Amino acid sequence: MISLTINGKKKNLDLDPETPLLWVLRDELGLTGTKFGCGAQLCGACTVHLNGKPVRSCGTPLSQAAGHYVLTIEALHFTHVGKLVQKIWLENDVPQCGYCQSGQIMSATALLTQNKSPSDAEIDAAMSGNVCRCGTYNQIRAAIKDASAALGGRR
Amino acid sequence: MKAAFRPSRRGFLKASAATGGGLVIGFVLPAAGRLAEAAQPFSPSAYLRIAASGRVTVVCGLSEMGQGVLTAIPMLVAEELDADWTKVRVEQAPVDKAFANPMFGIQATGGSASVRGFWEPMRKAGAAAREMLVAAAAATWKAKPADCRTVKGIVLHKSGRRLSYARLVARASKQPVPADPKLKDPKHFVILGQDLKRLDTPPKVNGSAKFGLDVRLPGMLTAVLTRAPVLGGKALSFDDSKTRAVPGVKQVLRTPHGVAVLADGYWAAKKGRDVLEIKWDDGPHAGLSSDDISKRLTDATALPGKVGRDEGNLATATVPAKTLEAVYEAPYLAHACMEPMNCTAWVKPGEVEIWAGTQSQGPTQGILGQVASVDPGKVKVHTMYLGGGFGRRSAPDFTIDATILSKLSGRPVKLVYSREDDMRAYYYRPASVTRFSAGLDAGGKPLSLRARVASPSIMEGSGFMKLPPNGVDRFALEGVQDLPYDIPNLRVEYSQQEPGVQVWFWRSVGHSQNIFFSESFVDELAHAAGKDPFEFRRALLAKQPRYKGVLELAAEKAGWGTPPPAGLQRGIAVAQSFGSYVAEVVEASVADDGRVKVERVVAAVDCGMTVNPEIIRRQIESAIVYGLSAALYGRITFKDGKVEQGNFDSYPVLRINEMPRVEVHIVPSGEKPGGIGEPGLPALAPALTGAIFAATGKRIRRLPIDPDMLKKA
């Protein structure tokens, strides 16, 4: 039995500890907002927060999350920065197909939580693990900058 | 989009009172089904509902893959309905003949054809409803309809009386449906041409949007399917003893296309597959290699092919002062949609139900009817959001295999491709080689041009088209055959070569490689003539105002003719595809180690009348990114019959740190709308390689761009 907190709720899971967190979320708990893109930590579609830090859930075994706090897109609006990032993503109409956007938003929120005034280079560093095949990168960058401004970051 | 699972609303006769007292408008698309189903009786279907609350629901039969169709189609209806946009929502339609795109007679999304196909029918649906609402109001007031007008969901009489659509729906549904409702003069558009927000954004920022992969059914198994690693191979035998020992694995099934592991969830299925031992017979393509394919295509261009275009006479053309010959090559490409292919199927007695992100609802019905031996009309297709399409999701492999697995297992089955499965499942953009030869006169004007294209045929590989009697695949030649430049002697030939790779439609199809070929070669001609690449094109496009218009606009906005920023060089290219004209100027640098960096892309687009300019700008930008990924990195290669790429490490795509600034300028136009999902792609590669030529003097004739070739010695 593995215990962890997911979106504020304590979960006791009787699963193979090697199971990637991604499939625990999607197949066991029905939290399908976290996406499967590559299974190899190459695309970022599965990004969630583990104790506030962005991790690729496809490469995070359940055992590694034991005793820790997992936050997914479904509960991101309970955080101040996450709610703001989602609002700005909506206002800016960032998504196209939308499939990568949960991961993009989770990565962007983690970045802005830690650094409310990211430079372009810092945005590149934090976001280059998240692939978007529709090419919304410029809208993502603009939304991060808008969120930064709304958080009182230096321009 | 919450209503994606709603039952189909079939069989409405013209107008009827919907459950809940609303107005429903159905109508027959003028040319629907004309290709395959001319003898069928017409079958009206519901496109539009107005609820007694005043809420307007547009039912859209097209697939949303990021291109904005779930916003564009409602805008068409809302404009002519004079709807209050804040009350408009959209619902995904079931599969039904009435949702066939009039451009191809089937229900499918592709070919940048959604707005082009539905521009008139959807506006007519809105206009018909508006006329019925006006008639109902006029009858209530005992007034003349001509004395009424409509604005934002309200009918107004000249006397000042007013009634909201909400209050009129019951009476309006008793009005006859006008046969030929009057459409607005475009100068009175208030919704079309506006940057309205997309209707599908809210669920895409909170994780609630349901893609195919997110479908969960009671009793469902998740399947992974191991296909033959070589196309045409067969499983000889397999040992599943270890697989069956993996907790959660329920069934191991041999199918016509491989061996599948079905389990409680993806992880168990994958673990089971990892220990599955399969012996393969690789079949006739075991020796397939990219080098051999390349040689075969190149050799084929040395010989005459089937003639796609022939103007003037190459043989008797005036003796040129200068001749050029060049061979261009493009590789096979995977689509690499963010969402790997998947489908959930449930085969029940006499019927099939699937949930999938598909671009191809209509054909899917027929195909799955055959697979499951049921009447095609008994195949229900629930269209989910598509995590990228780019043509890939019009292929039938994932829906067929999911259906087979449900039939064999007796359970609802979600078939999931791993990223590697997805990348190695074929359905590639064809590899292609084109050999050009041309002659210039003493003044540098082109006298003659011949292009010989060798590539596999998408038409023949598609399974639903046939090569025409002249043997020319139009997809293999589009972008070369329609070369717009004023060249008096011109011949374009095609040689069909089939190395054994399944080919398919890939964003912008033949234009994706052919515009790279033809525009690069035109660039070569410009340099051979000693002319500026922009001025050279412009002079040869005097009779092509729309090409010339975008070319001039892109050049002007990019500052063509002024010195580029330090370290950068510019290239330019122009293309027409899917009824839209796009020119692009690329500013790029080439580092000493040969690495190419694109800093800025300026695009000009003439796509006729616009529906939503912001979506147009985003789609052009999207296509630029897709084209740039392909130009820099895209390549599927074969060794010993097997695909060498598998994931985003071996098949890299553009990331945010490589993203150029993009500016998109739209030419104001009163022409009928052109397509927009694909036309931004073709000009990118040749504009980029033009910039590379300006920077290095080296001409890239083969994609993807090889940095080694550009290294400083």
Q: Is residue A129 part of a domain?
A: yes
d(CA B465, CA B497) in angstroms, rounded, equals 17
- Cα A127 from Cα B126, distance rounded (Å): 43
In this structure, the answer to whether residues A90 and A69 fall within a common structural domain is no
Query: Is A67 in the same domain as A126?
Result: no
Does B62 reach chain A within 8 Å, measured CB to CB?
Answer: no
Say if residue A106 is in the same domain as residue A62: no
The sign one gets for the Cα dihedral A72, A74, A77, A79 is: negative
Q: Which of A99, A107, A138, A139 should be substituted to probe chain B, the one whose Cβ sees the most B Cβ atoms within 10 Å? A: A99
| CA dist., res. B249 & res. B253, Å (int) | 11
What are B576-618's pLDDT values in tens digits? 999 999 999 999 999 999 999 999 999 999 999 999 999 999 9
Secondary structure E strands in B249-341: 249-255, 258-263, 277-281, 306-311, 322-330
Q: B542 touching A, CB under 8 A?
A: no
Strand order, beta sheet including B432-440: B306-311, B489-496, B446-455, B432-440, B322-330
Q: What is the mean pLDDT of residues B357-366?
A: 96
Mark yes or no for CB contact A128/B209 under 8 Å.
no
In chain B the domains, ranked by start, together with CATH numbers, are 2-205 (3.30.365.10), 212-283+341-416 (3.30.365.10), 291-332+428-710 (3.30.365.10)
**CB proximity under 8 Å: A 97-116 to B:** 97-102, 105
Residue (of B17, B63, B25, B19) closest to B45 by Cα position: B25
CA A117 to chain centroid: 19
CB spacing of A95 vs B201 below 8 angstroms: yes
Query: Is A95 found in the same domain as A111?
Result: yes
Q: How far, in whole angstroms, is CA B53 from its chain's centroid? A: 36
Interface test with A, best of B198, B220, B338 (most A CBs within 10 A): B338
CB contact under 8 Å between A32 and B214, yes or no, is yes
Phi and psi torsions of B638, nearest 5°:
-120, 140
- Between CA B469 and CA B462 the distance in angstroms is 17
User: Is pLDDT at B2 greater than 60 in this prediction?
Assistant: no
A133 and A145 share one domain: yes
Assess if residue A28 is contained within a domain.
Answer: yes
pLDDT digits over A49-86, tens only?
999 999 999 999 999 999 999 999 999 999 999 999 99
Contacts of B281 (CB under 8 A, 6+ apart): B233, B234, B235, B236
pLDDT of residue B1: 35
pLDDT tens, B404-456?
999 999 999 999 999 999 999 999 999 999 999 999 999 999 999 999 999 99
Percentage of residues in chain B with pLDDT exceeding 90?
A: 89
CA distances to B38, B59, B100, B102, B252 from B34, in Å: 5, 22, 10, 8, 44
Show the tokens assigned to B275.
Answer: 């220990």
Co-location of A81 and A138 in the same domain = yes
Q: Are A114 and A128 found together in one domain?
A: yes
CB B356 within 8 A of CB A53: no
A142 and A105 in a common domain? yes
User: Of A75, A108, A140, which one is at a domain's C-terminal end?
Assistant: A75
Rg (CA), chain B: 27
pLDDT at A100: 98
User: How many structural domains does chain A have?
Assistant: 2
B379, B344 Cβ separation under 8 angstroms: no
The DSSP bridge partners found for residue B278 are B238
* Residue A7 contacts B, CB cutoff 8 Å: no
Element (H, E) at B366: helix B361-372
Residues A70 and A86 grouped into a single domain:
no
* Cα of A78 vs its chain's centroid, Å: 14
Residue with tokens 């690693």: B229
Q: How far is CA B335 from CA B331, B390, B575, in A?
A: 13, 7, 22
Q: Residue A30's domain is classified under what CATH number? A: 3.10.20.30
- Report if residue A155 sits inside a domain: no
CB distance from B661 to chain A under 8 Å?
yes
Domain span at residue A22?
2-75
Q: How many CA atoms lie within 13 A of B498 on its CB side?
A: 12
Chain A residues whose beta carbon lies within 8 Å of the beta carbon of residue B222: 27
| Nearest to A70, CA basis, from A95, A53, A87, A94 | A53
Answer yes or no: is pLDDT of B13 > 60.
no
Measured between beta carbons, the chain B residues lying within 8 angstroms of A36 are 213, 266, 340, 416
> Is A36 within 8 Å of B416 when comparing Cβ atoms?
yes
Distance of alpha carbon B394 from alpha carbon B465, whole angstroms: 14
> Is A55 contained in some domain?
yes
Whether residues A82 and A146 fall in one domain: yes
Model confidence at B391: pLDDT above 70:
yes
Confidence of residue A154 (pLDDT cuts 50, 70, 90): confident
Mean pLDDT, residues B1-15 taken together:
33
The span from the CA of B516 to the CA of A134, in Å, is 21
Q: Which structure tokens are listed for B413?
A: 């089955």
Selection from B109, B25, B33 nearest residue B72 by Cα? B109
Q: Closest Cα to residue B556, out of B707, B665, B416?
A: B665
Instruction: Based on the fold, state whether residues A8 and A63 are members of the same structural domain.
Output: yes
For residue B182, pLDDT over 70 is answered with yes
Residues in chain B, total = 713
| Residue B12 pLDDT grade (very low, low, confident, very high; cuts 50, 70, 90) | very low
Average pLDDT, chain B: 93
Number of H helices, E strands in chain B: 18, 28
The encoded tokens of residue B565 equal: 């920023």
Give the closest residue to B115 by CA, choosing from B679, B563, B522, B515.
B679
Residue B152 to residue B170: CA distance in whole angstroms: 19
The span from the CA of B535 to the CA of B555, in Å, is 10
Q: Taking residues B687-712, what's their average pLDDT?
A: 97
Contact yes or no for A94 and B205 at CB 8 A? yes
How many whole angstroms separate alpha carbon B270 and alpha carbon B254? 16
**For B78, what's the count of Cα atoms within 13 Å in the CB-facing half-sphere?**
31
Q: pLDDT for B21-65, tens place per residue?
A: 566 655 333 333 333 322 222 122 368 889 888 899 999 999 999
Chain A touched by B206 (CB under 8 Å): yes
CA angle B557, B559, B561 (to 5 degrees): 140
User: Is the pLDDT score of B624 beyond 50?
Assistant: yes
State whether A6 and A61 are in the same domain: yes
Q: For A44-47, which contacts have Cβ atoms below 8 Å and span 24 or more sequence positions? A: A44/A100, A44/A103, A44/A104, A44/A107, A44/A129, A44/A130, A44/A131, A45/A99, A45/A100, A45/A102, A45/A103, A45/A130, A45/A131, A45/B338, A46/A22, A46/A103, A47/A102, A47/A103, A47/A104, A47/A106, A47/A107, A47/A129, A47/A130
In order of B354, B538, B612, B672, B682, the CA distances from B668 in angstroms are 42, 20, 13, 12, 22
The set of residues, in sequence order, having a beta carbon less than 8 Å from that of B589 and lying 6+ positions away, is B567, B568, B569, B596, B597, B599, B695
Give the residue from A75, A108, A130 where a domain finishes: A75
Average pLDDT over residues B628-639: 98
Give me the pLDDT at residue B25, please: 59
CA B613/CA B75 separation, integer angstroms: 12
Overall average pLDDT of the B532-547 stretch: 98
Given A75, A98, A131, which residue is the final one in a domain? A75
CA distance B254 to B239: 11
- Confirm whether A50 is domain-assigned: yes
Least confident of A46-60, A84-98, B94-108, B496-510: B94-108
**CATH number for the domain harbouring residue A137:** 1.10.150.120
Q: Which tokens belong to B66?
A: 């990021």
Candidates B210, B267, B621, B684, partner chain A, best to mutate (most A CBs within 10 A): B267
pLDDT at B353: 98
Task: Tally C-beta pairs within 8 A across A and B.
Answer: 177
Q: What's the pLDDT score for residue B179?
A: 85
Nearest residue to B601 (alpha-carbon basis) of B539, B686, B702, B693: B686
Alpha carbon of A65: minimum distance to chain B alpha carbons (Å): 17
* Chain A hits for B247, Cβ within 8 Å: 16
What token pair was written down for B303? Answer: 């010989």
CB–CB contact A97 B386 (8 Å) = yes
User: Shortest CA distance to B4 belongs to which of B101, B100, B95, B133?
Assistant: B95
Helix (H) or strand (E) holding A138: helix A137-150
Average pLDDT over residues B103-118: 95
Residue in the block written with tokens 């998240």: A130
Q: Quote the CA–CA distance of B422 and B392 in Å, as a whole number.
A: 10
